Amino acid sequence: MANINGKEAASLNGEPVVKRPRENVQQDVSLRAPREPQNKVTVVLGAQWGDEGKGKVVDLLAMDADIVCRCQGGNNAGHTVVVDSVEYDFHLLPSGVLNKKAISFIGNGVVIHLPGLFEEADKNLRKGKGLQGWEERLKISDRAHIVFNFHQAVDGIQEQQRQQQEGKNLGTTKKGIGPAYSSKAARNGLRVCDLVSDFKFQPSSSTFSIQGDDLFSSRCYKMKPDQSKMFYC
């Protein structure tokens, strides 16, 4: 402690510390005032087991968006969007694909049945002009897993087995979504990058067929040589 004018004051390294009155300390108010965020991310999340109207909400929000992303799921669900009295049905395509100023992105959490993707696009193209140029504004993650016809066959057979064994089923759409995610979790599925990388898709698909046989055969399905085409989209 130091003695200043007969009063004790705190000292630091032998030097007295003089406290300034608060009113003499300038405060930069701009540092405390909240700033308008430069970038915004809006998440549309359903918590009602589907049928909440997410597609319609995304379509409205997409009008002011630069990027519209779909993060998970497959073509088992559907979103209906009405634009200029034209009704569009989306299963894999993000609902924001109708916005010609936004980039639509299918993330690596989505499982993609490629024939279903192109059939969906062609079907909606015939309905109206809203989807024109979709292939130029759609980006697909090269880490997204592929749904094969094999997955759909497994899905249907597993559903039949549940009905026979338990007297009830899950009510699956038999689009192969569950088995495709099983392949992803088992780390033996094929991804979009396997289609476009180094021309090793054929060997990879052969390995996948063997691993898929091991994964599903004990439960419901046994691959046969003449059924190998079921592994292709």
Report the distance separating Cα 55 and Cα 135, nearest Å: 20
CATH architecture, domain 45-146+217-232: 3-Layer(aba) Sandwich (3.40)
Catalytic residue list: 51, 79, 184
pLDDT in tens, the chain (233 residues): 555 555 555 555 566 655 555 555 455 555 555 666 667 888 888 887 777 888 788 888 888 889 999 998 898 878 888 888 888 889 999 888 888 888 999 999 999 999 999 999 999 999 888 888 999 999 999 999 999 988 888 888 888 887 777 777 777 788 999 999 998 998 888 899 888 766 565 665 555 555 555 555 544 445 444 444 544 55
Query: String of b and e for 4-14 (b: at least 16 CB within 10 Å)?
Result: eeeeeeeeeee
76 is in an annotated binding site: yes
Backbone phi and psi for residue 102, each to the nearest 5 degrees, phi listed first: -110, 150
Amino acid at 92: L
Distance CA 91, CA 73 (A): 9
**Is 50 one of the annotated binding-site residues?**
yes
Q: According to the annotation, is 173 in a ligand binding site?
A: yes
Residue intervals in the chain for CATH 3.40.440.10: 45-146+217-232
Q: What is the pLDDT of residue 184?
A: 92
Query: Tell me, what's the pLDDT at 226?
Result: 42
Q: What is the pLDDT of residue 53?
A: 80
Q: Is 53 annotated as a binding residue?
A: yes
pLDDT of residue 197: 65
127 labelled binding-site residue = no
- Helical H segments across the chain, by residue range: 29-32, 54-61, 114-125, 149-166, 177-185, 192-196, 201-216
- Helix pair angle (201-216, 149-166), 10° resolution: 0
CATH class of 149-189: mainly alpha
Range(s) for CATH 1.10.300.10 in the chain?
149-189
- Beta-bridge partner residues of 145: 111, 191
